[in-house]
Structures are given as structure tokens and as C-alpha cells.
Chains A and B, each alone.
Chain A
């Protein structure tokens, strides 16, 4: 039960990463690898502030801003200096590695003695159950895990709602149109370049925020924690698309969150059944490869079947 609870919680926390990837990859068709660096950047900034005794909310907010700055860098490299999308992201991601080490001062920063959102989560859990341990569907679970899950769910819900409202505004709609038909939105007086920069700022802000929450949940920030995270985000977005199968904003946001949680559950079960943790990134990459290639292959097969 604790395994499931923690899979749910991490799935929800990483759904913020997935929402960030949704904005860059689905809205703008921009494969933004900056995410690998900005999730660590968010964790580093938050962890560093927390160990200096700052308020967890301030630390998490600062992580968002830091990620947004990283996104702006990638956006400016691409739009103003005309550097290829992927290369812009790689440059910023690489630069962030050094910056993250500077921010943390060491390659791994534990948060054992700091007051974090996880501390609040534990209080929340204790307040709800009234004890130090709680029962969930007849299983004993720790109040920290229960509180973390509820807090993560609440945060994700609020952020998804804000994003949904944002994409219904003039600015948010202009962003969606920029990814959908660049020529059209330019002819309607929108600078696609500005939209990309703002979009990547929001995207990487969310990713960094996810990093800050993850660091607080697991109790440390690590300079390596971002490796392969973009692929993780892509997997969630792709699963979400398959689950919901609609292009409307609300459906896509919901699907992305469900995709992230579902993917984390699958991984947790696979690990439980003996998947070597070292193979995790390999399996994820193969999964995304399959998800990218299968739809076209299926269509080919179907057309073949229809023709014969």
C-alpha cells in the first residue's frame, strides 16, 4: 500500500513536469530538452533556500521563477539567435549543470533537518487521521505519505485549473494558435517569437516547480536527478493523449496528469516484479519510441488490410 501511495504521489508531482512538457511539446511542437536541467535547477534552488531556513512556499516559488528564467534563455537562443530548437535546449541544459552545482554547493543536498512542504504534509496527514498512523482501505499507512498525496493532489489540481483558465485567455489562445498555425497567427498580429519565449518560461517554470516538490518529498536534491526527465514527461504526455484522445485543452491537461500517474504506477509495479532499476531509463526510452512509431505503423497495417 505504501508503495502504491508513493507511486501516486510521485506520479502527481511529476505530472507538473508532464504539464510543462505538454506546453513545449504539444502546444508549441518544441522538443525542449531544457527540462532535464530545469527540474534539477528547481530542486537545487528550493533545497538551497530551505537549508538556509527560508519558507517552503518561498523556496518553491523561487524554483518556479528560476525554471522560467532557464526557459526564457532557451527561447531567446532559439528565436533571437536562430539556434536550432534541440541545440538551444542542450546548451541551456548543459550550462545549468554547472549552475546547479554552484547553487547547491555540493552534488547532493539533504533536507533532513529543514522544514519543507513534506513537514506540512505530515501535519496535514496527522490532522486528518488524528494519529501518527492512518488506515487506508484497511491498510496501515504513514501520515506523511497520506498527507503528501493529498497535498500533491491539491497542488496539481490548482495548477491544472490555472493552466486551463490561462489557455482560454487571449494570450493563452494566441499561444495555442502559434503552435497550431504560425503563418495564421502572424497575420493576425502576434509575434510567434514572443509566444515561444513566454511558453517556454511557463513550461520550464512548471518543470522546476516539480523539481522543488520532488526534492522536498524525497528529502534531498541531487545534481543527477534530471537525467532523462524529458523522456519521462513525453511518455506521460503520450499516454495521456492515448487515454483521452481529444485535442481540447481540458481533455489534454487531464490526460497528461492521468498519464503521468499511470506511467508511475506501471513503473512501480514493474520494479516490484523485478525490473532492474538500472534498466528504467532504457525501458522508458523504448516505450516512448514505440509510442512515437506505433500509430503510423498501425495506420500502414490498417491501410494494407483495407487495400487487400
Chain B
């Protein structure tokens, strides 16, 4: 029985009386809506946080007015503004692809949430190939971005989309290889079992396993995941001093909002993967801290990673295209291959 289904059966006993397909559908949709709610709240919070973090790094104070306390409602106000903004589709654009693109980007990001293990008992879909699934789903965002950039019929968008596509597919190799290093040890692809294999204290987390090999794998994963979600120093697809707005130059209103939401959701997804695979997921670092519930640990660790992403964004310049490709193919990829072979050797000997 799936952990999620059990969770809901305990929570809402009357579901047991329903036909199974109906119960499963209702549970799935409720879980998806829950995740959407989380994404929305996370994005609202993260955008506000990013503005605050950047402001304080830049000797400013950031939004202070809306909502009273430190401008906490600023992003809500911005969202409402985006909702009432005109939806412009440029002439000569490929209308169907143009409208489809944000939906694909956002849906791919939301689908990634399906396998995140919040705690031992709450994981929307405990796939036995969870890690592989989340890798493949996150590549869907490339298609959305490519579609959006192509359909806009704008040269800047096309450049942004092309760069984004080449960047995201290239960096998928180091990401997958770095995660592979951990899978070799854990012997499972299920997100839940990956975390359970790390139980114990902080030294049992995968990042400290086979020290320093997995630690290097973690760094490779983190760097490559920055490129996967188009964050600085890899924000070339939307580098505004070069490509104006990159692939979303022509988007406005709610469609732009969904690109934005997708970007922040993806930030969380890659951080959550790092948390699950390397940082012990919902597990506390020490035994005596286990009174704090798992989801808090999970979200806390992921938010720390998100914060580091923001931190890097405001302290690093952007790379150039050739340097970007160099970093991926000539630095990260060979190193991740070496790590896999070394871990294999270590385990065999």
C-alpha cells in the first residue's frame, strides 16, 4: 500500500468505503493541490526573501511598505498586479506554442513535487524509480522554455531559448552522474529509501559517506543544478545585460507569472533533491533532535539550499557561453566520471 494512500485512509476513514479508483483519484488531486499550495506559498515567500536577501547584501532594506511588517505582502500585491495585466501575444508569434510554453514549464515543475519525500509517511507518489523520474521530469522544462522562446518570434527570446536548451541539457549529465555516485551506495532509486538508508546521525548522511568523494559529488551536483534552474552564475538564458529578458521577453501578465513560478518551484525541487539524496532528507542531524517533525527538517534543509542559491546570485557575475560549456564538459563531467569509478573501486576492494 502506498504511504500516501495509507496516510489519507487514516486521516479520512470514510474514503475506505469509496470505490478504489475514485478514492485514489481524489487523494491524488488533493495531494496535487496541496503541493500547488505549497509551491504558491513557497514562491511568494522565496521571492520576498530573495528581494530581502539581495537588498541586505546591497546595503538596502528592500520592500518595507506593503502588509506592514517588512513588506511581507509585497509579492502578493505583485501577483495580483500580474493577474490584472494585459495578456499580450505578439503578432506573427506561434500562438499555440506561445500559450502552451508556460503551462509546460510550470507543470513539469509541479510534477517534480510528486516524488518529494516530506517525511516517512507523506510522499505523494513513492515510485521505485523516483530519482530517475524527477530527473526526467525536470528536463521537460527545457521543452517549455524552447517552445516559449521559439514561439515569441523575437530574436532575443530565441537566443535565450537556445542557450537555455544547450545549457540545461549539458548540465543534466553532471547532475545525473553526481546522483549516481550515491545510488551506487544506497542501491535504490526510491526517494524514500534513499533517505532511510541515511538514518543515524549527521555522519551517516550521504554527503559525508565515502568522504571526500560524495562531498565532491555534492558540490558537482549543486553547481550543475544551479545551471539546471538558470540561476547566476549560469543565468545566461535571461541575462538582461545581454539578452534583455531571454526567453520570456515577450511574456506578460499571468503567463509570465507562471514562468516565474516555475523557476522558483524548480529552485525548490533541485534543493529538495539535494536534501533527499545528500543531506538526509527529513532526518535530524542528531538523535536528540528527533522531536522536531520530519517535514520541518526537510523544508528547513531545502530552504537553506535555496538561500545559498540566492546568496550566490548576488555575489557572482555571469559566465560567458563558452566558459559555461567549458565548465560543464571539461570540468564537471570528467570529475563526476572519476568519482563514480573511484567509489566503485572503493566498494569492490
Same complex for A and B? Answer: no
